[in-house]
Structure 1
Amino acid sequence: MPTPPVATPDEILEARAANPKMRARDLAASLNVTEAALVAANVGRTVTRIDADPDKLIPAVETIGEVMALTRNESAVHERTGTYENFKSGPIAGMVLGSEIDLRIFPKHWANAFAVVEEGDQGTKRSLQVFDHHGDAVHKVHLKPASDIAAFETAVKTLATGSDERTYTTTPRPAPEGAMIREDNLDILRKEWDRMTDTHQFLRLTSKLKFNRLGAYRAAGAPYAEKLNNDSVSLMLERASAQEVPLMIFVGNAGCIQIHSGLVHTIKPMGPWQNVLDPRFNLHLRADHIAEVWRVWKPTQRGPAISIECFDAEGQLILQSFGVRQEGGPLAWNDLAGDLPKLETAEASA
């Protein structure tokens, strides 16, 4: 089947004008362009190209005050209102460690960024949007009514690159990795798993032994990893809300991971989406994209860390949840996670 032609910037603007209510990602797909190309088409109009370096961008965001931070992947959208603070720079990984906005940043994927100012049904909308080398959104910052608009305008002037380029050059996305298993290293994996003292040691361990996250879970089995019913994530959110159990919810992509720590209250399914709709935290999860859910046990110096993790059909991580560390440990979370239903043995091993 021939590849459809890629829309030009002017064709993109015409399509946006003709479809003002269509979601950006859906419009981009219909035009055979990336979401980044959709934004870039408006450079010189409602969009300004800005420096994507997080060492420059994040300190500028800190001056704007209260905003909404958004990080997503193909199956989940994580939105958190708060103030960017306590930024820690790093050449490989940086962090924002605010009381509400909590990020892990991987700078090599922050390829291009834009400041967007556009008129909407409820007035002027302002945002800063970062994209990777493939044209996919890495992280977005949306201004709220309490945001400092003057600080935003100053930041845009300071960060502006001066480029008026309206196209977005991309590199091909890598193929999904899927589960990686090295059977001859399985005994070593289990032994080293038992010796872990911190959850952050896990990815170094799996990489060294030629596994990846999902491959390690499938290969190690219980008690390290147990496969759950696919509706366990929705059940987890509903029970955490009803029982007032605080939890950490991680959603990320290659360039950014965003974390909510605390209670969740309003859980509302809408079609294929499972949603958390709280005043300062929203989660939008495509429940129909969940192909595998795992309950994972990892030893740490402060006791076992138990996570609930879900993956899509291509083996890509969608979402992780942990308990919030409190005095005496996250016992309520451990009980909640432990009560989620396992798959029957025959189905789990299929």
Structure 2
Amino acid sequence: MKPHHRFALALTGAMLISSLPAGAASLTERYEALRTEQPKLALRDAAARLNVSEAELLAANGIGKTVTRLQEGDNVPREIMRRALDLGKVMALTRNENGILERTGVATHMKPQEEVTGLDADKEKEREARMRNIAGGYLGGEIDLRFTFKNWKYAFAVAQPGKDGAVSRSLQFFDASGNAVHKVYVKSDAGVAVFDKIVADFRNPVQSADLKVAAAPVKKAEKPDSAVDVKEFQLAWNEINDVHQFNRLLSEFGVTREQGLRLGPVDKVQRITPQAVRQLLEQAAKQQIDIMAFLGNDSAIQIYSGKINKVQEAGGYFNVLDPEFNLHLRDSAFVSGYIVKRAGVVNVEFYDKDGREVVSFFGVRSRENPVPQAWIDLTVALPKASANNQASQ
């Protein structure tokens, strides 16, 4: 399209939006005007432009047509995801502000577990919390997820024509602020009947687009570095014998995750450039190194394990574009990266300007190869942050 044509189209769209009376224009009308201006704009980005949440825009534009509002309640999201285990082949999508992970495959059911007795109070409490945040499966395998269901609020079933004309069916979940938590897309004919049954069983009797969306919670102020006993923190870090103990360490010292990395032992944390993520993915693909990618939000974390092949920049993201795995990273929004060593495990983490972790990578370990040397060598070669860059972070 010629530049003057693009300008004319954008101007027309802007005039359409501005011509709608502020008090009279419905959200649907405003959205349709915006789509005239930018027909390929994703729903999440359109919602941001219209100053509403994605859940509100989805409901306003689709309920009664392509969208069915599902029930709400403390246990409902867990039960829907439990039933979703029977959908067969799906594409599971988890995202945050600057990254998206999409994995196609079949989720595994959890094997029946024997009753556990004799645990002390703390371990029993941890076990109960862990059991509340699983839905009968999704632990390992092709669709590998960790849930925090207490943060899930709204659920919708969406059935609409896809780009190829076929009907796309999905279950879409949002938090109390209307932000996308997780989405599951049906990818097999056999899953259609299961999807329809889930919609029928969990259909909300009130098909209203009126959502009581809450304001995003105010982020808790980070404790000043000067208020942290750094020496004790570093000593405690060095005593970690399991990588999963790290979150407890952060909690005990009252520090955020990135703050903990900044204050960690110098031999355990090394800063790298934010755009080192490109070299990491390019070399993992070139050398065919098995990696693990963790990407999530406050409500769900999704994990990919395996090799990657096709990596490229497109659409403002740096991407992995494999048939069964897509990763989209807006690395222009990354402001810091770290190589981290904990309990003999080395991983790489990247953060945005608000100190939020966007994505984390590990080498795939096994009993036979607990410290994959190819992964270690890859991390060592990543470009380090300059002293000036470190001082400004």
**TM-score, structure 1 as length reference:** 0.91
What is the match of residue 46 of structure 2? 27
Q: Quick one: structure 1 residues 153 and 54, their matched pair in 2 at CA, closer, same or farther if it must change by over 3 Å?
A: same
Choose from 354, 358, 362 the match for 1:322: 362
Distance in 2 (alpha carbons) for counterparts of 1:6 and 1:225: 55
Q: Which has the larger radius of gyration?
A: 2
Aligned Cα root-mean-square deviation (Å): 2.3
How far residue 283 of structure 1 moved from its aligned partner, in angstroms, is 0.3
Choose from 165, 181, 200 the match for 1:157: 200
Alignment map for 1:200-215 (pairs within 5 Å): 200-215=244-259
Asked if 2 retains the 8 angstrom alpha-carbon contact of 1:9 and 1:166, the reply is no
How far residue 86 of structure 1 moved from its aligned partner, in angstroms, is 2.6
Choose from 221, 227, 232 the match for 2:276: 232
Choose from 70, 92, 105 the match for 1:69: 92
Deviates more, 1:182-191 or 1:101-110: 182-191
More helix by share: 2
How far residue 334 of structure 1 moved from its aligned partner, in angstroms, is 1.5
Asked if 2 retains the 8 angstrom alpha-carbon contact of 1:78 and 1:284, the reply is yes
Choose from 45, 50, 65 the match for 2:70: 50
Q: Quick one: structure 1 residues 137 and 191, their matched pair in 2 at CA, closer, same or farther if it must change by over 3 Å?
A: same
Distance in 2 (alpha carbons) for counterparts of 1:128 and 1:294: 35
Distance in 2 (alpha carbons) for counterparts of 1:157 and 1:151: 10
Does residue 312 (structure 1) correspond to residue 359 (structure 2)? The answer is: no
What is the match of residue 112 of structure 1? 154
- Percent identical: 36
Distance in 1 (alpha carbons) for counterparts of 2:333 and 2:23: 29
Distance in 1 (alpha carbons) for counterparts of 2:51 and 2:176: 16
Distance in 1 (alpha carbons) for counterparts of 2:98 and 2:213: 22
Distance in 2 (alpha carbons) for counterparts of 1:213 and 1:189: 13
How far residue 178 of structure 1 moved from its aligned partner, in angstroms, is 7.0
How far residue 347 of structure 1 moved from its aligned partner, in angstroms, is 3.1
Does residue 217 (structure 1) correspond to residue 236 (structure 2)? The answer is: no
Alignment map for 1:263-282 (pairs within 5 Å): 263-270=307-314, 272-282=316-326
How far residue 345 of structure 1 moved from its aligned partner, in angstroms, is 3.1
What is the match of residue 337 of structure 2? 293
C-alpha deviations, 1:16-41, integer Å up to 9, x for none? 77465321012212222110011111
**Unmatched 5+ stretches in structure 2:** 1-21, 112-128
**Unmatched 5+ stretches in structure 1:** none
What is the match of residue 118 of structure 2? none
Deviates more, 1:126-135 or 1:6-15: 6-15
C-alpha deviations, 1:27-72, integer Å up to 9, x for none? 2122221100111112222111124623311121111110100000
Deviates more, 1:276-285 or 1:147-156: 147-156
Does residue 11 (structure 1) correspond to residue 52 (structure 2)? The answer is: no
What is the match of residue 174 of structure 1? 217
1:104 alignment partner AA: R
Q: Quick one: structure 1 residues 346 and 216, their matched pair in 2 at CA, closer, same or farther if it must change by over 3 Å?
A: same
More strand by share: 1
**TM-score, structure 2 as length reference:** 0.81
What is the match of residue 300 of structure 2? 256
